[in-house]
């Protein structure tokens, strides 16, 4: 372990004894002491006491500017007044119905006005709606197989827990990646029916269709790959996928759980001017509540209307959640909201690039809409295998170094990215950049020392 990382970890440990104690209390009752594996990291995760706007407090009372925002689910920021008001009003008239109500249509209409879709069904999580989207595509095409990208994340159902983060000793040749289980409990048929290609490789996709004629129901991907920091599609890549899927009679599914709200009103479909066959949405459309949706043309969604593909959910269209979603679409995801986020993003990204230009750190900043990330590579990555070469210890110096200065630069894990909310201010950006400017020279030194050691 690098000495600088040891120093930052020691500072973190000294600052957060209450988080350590909270984890020890939870471990006997919760595996890893947390409610989701992504929240577990060494030496222990930061436990949150409260949050408001763009700021959080931990159990020890320290304040942080939050660019994590629940893994990108809070473009509204914490406790947005319009969202809180809408939910409080609904609390007085019913928390669950299990029967139709008018908010369902209103929110579906908002989505159909923004995305190139005609009908919508709702769920409670990204996992749920990507699962339904794949089932819908299979029902519509009468085929079983799907294609996903190596390193791509689409939730935690069996069909997509394949080659999520495969190790180099298992993932096979680049032109023909091996189907690798993400862990125990994944049936062999899930591996067999989930084919793998590398992001930004059209030839690999063509090859899979040629080797599996009339067997592939759909190709699912994040249009901007955000399970490896931020990896942009190369020019012509998404257009190529659209053409291939059309020619092969397969459906193109855009997993817009992360990009759907944060790239602009119409998500990646609008951003790249590509019409997907099915779009999945979640995270920031709920304003802090568990809201998700999958949407498509009437022809595809008729599989549900005709009872040929089954969809249901007790918690789907919970009125509290739908009220939060409507408030988010109408009060947060507005032209003014997007303009504010663009201003904040430009200032943050511009500041990072100025600091990098003055340092010897081999890194770059990528951004798209409300998301951005510092990527510790000498040149832009274009797929999972290039991302896999990152030095995790170097990244941890960055993350803990920023955190120790009161800035949660992004979620923990080097495959994540920051999110900008409508609650962030230019003052928050100044503090973020000030923290990075202090740590950048040390990061560059640590990177150089690691390179020298590796060369010996």
Residues with catalytic function: 153, 255, 283
**Four-residue CA torsion sign, 108, 112, 113, 115:** positive
**Could you identify the residue written with the tokens 């081999």?**
362
3-state SS string for 318-343: CHHHHHHHHHHHHHCCCHHHHHHHHH
Q: What are phi and psi of 54, to 5 degrees?
A: -110, 20
- Cα Rg, the chain, nearest whole Å: 22
The phi, psi pair for 80, rounded to 5°, reads -60, 130
- Answer for the pair 162, 196: CB distance below 8 angstroms, yes or no: yes
Q: What is the separation of C-alpha 333 from the centre of its chain, rounded to a whole number of angstroms? A: 18
Residue 205 is classified by DSSP as H
DSSP readout, 40-55?
--SS-PPPEEEEEBTE
**Strand, helix or coil for residue 281:** strand
Q: At what angle do helices 426-455 and 335-358 cross, to 10 degrees?
A: 40
Sheet holding 407-408, edge to edge: 48-52, 55-58, 63-66, 407-408
Q: Which two tokens stand for residue 242?
A: 């659209």
């Amino acid at each position: 372990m690098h000495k600088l990382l040891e120093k930052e970890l020691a500072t973190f440990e000294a600052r957060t004894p209450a988080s350590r104690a909270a984890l020890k209390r939870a471990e006997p009752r919760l595996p890893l002491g947390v409610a989701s594996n992504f929240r577990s990291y060494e030496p222990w995760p930061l436990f949150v006491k409260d949050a408001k706007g763009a700021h959080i407090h931990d159990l020890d009372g320290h304040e942080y500017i939050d660019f994590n925002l629940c893994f990108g689910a809070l473009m509204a920021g914490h406790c947005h007044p319009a969202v809180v008001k809408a939910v409080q009003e609904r609390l007085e008239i019913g928390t669950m119905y299990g029967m139709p109500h008018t908010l369902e249509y209103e929110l579906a209409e908002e989505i159909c006005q923004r995305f190139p879709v005609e009908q919508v069904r709702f769920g409670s999580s990204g996992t749920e709606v990507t699962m339904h989207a794949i089932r819908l595509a299979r029902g519509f095409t009468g085929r079983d197989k799907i294609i996903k990208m190596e390193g791509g994340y689409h939730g935690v159902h069996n069909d997509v827990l394949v080659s999520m983060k495969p190790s180099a000793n298992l993932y096979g040749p680049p032109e023909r990646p091996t189907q690798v289980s993400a862990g125990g409990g994944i049936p062999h048929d899930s591996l067999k029916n989930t084919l793998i290609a590398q992001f930004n490789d059209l030839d690999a996709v063509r090859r899979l269709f040629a080797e599996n004629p009339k067997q592939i129901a759909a190709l699912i991907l994040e249009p901007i790959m955000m399970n490896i920091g931020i990896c942009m599609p190369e020019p012509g890549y998404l257009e190529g996928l659209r053409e291939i899927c059309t020619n092969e009679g397969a459906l193109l599914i855009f997993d817009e759980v992360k990009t759907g709200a944060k790239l602009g009103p119409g998500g990646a479909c609008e951003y790249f001017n590509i019409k997907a066959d099915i779009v999945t949405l979640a995270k920031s459309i709920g304003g802090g509540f568990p809201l998700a949706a999958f949407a498509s043309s009437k022809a595809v969604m008729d599989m549900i209307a005709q009872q040929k593909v089954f969809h249901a959910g007790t918690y789907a269209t919970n009125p509290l959640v739908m009220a939060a979603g409507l408030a988010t679409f109408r009060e947060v995801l507005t032209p003014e909201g997007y303009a504010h986020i663009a201003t904040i993003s430009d200032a943050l990204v511009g500041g990072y690039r100025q600091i990098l230009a003055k340092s010897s750190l081999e890194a770059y900043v990528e951004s798209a809409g409300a998301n951005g990330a510092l990527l510790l590579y000498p040149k832009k990555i274009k797929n999972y295998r290039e991302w896999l070469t990152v030095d995790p210890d170097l990244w941890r110096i960055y993350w803990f170094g920023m955190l120790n200065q009161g800035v949660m630069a992004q979620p923990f894990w080097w495959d994540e990215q920051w999110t900008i909310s409508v609650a962030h201010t230019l003052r928050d950006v100044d503090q973020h950049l000030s923290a990075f400017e202090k740590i950048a020279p040390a990061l560059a030194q640590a990177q150089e020392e690691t390179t020298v050691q590796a060369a010996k």
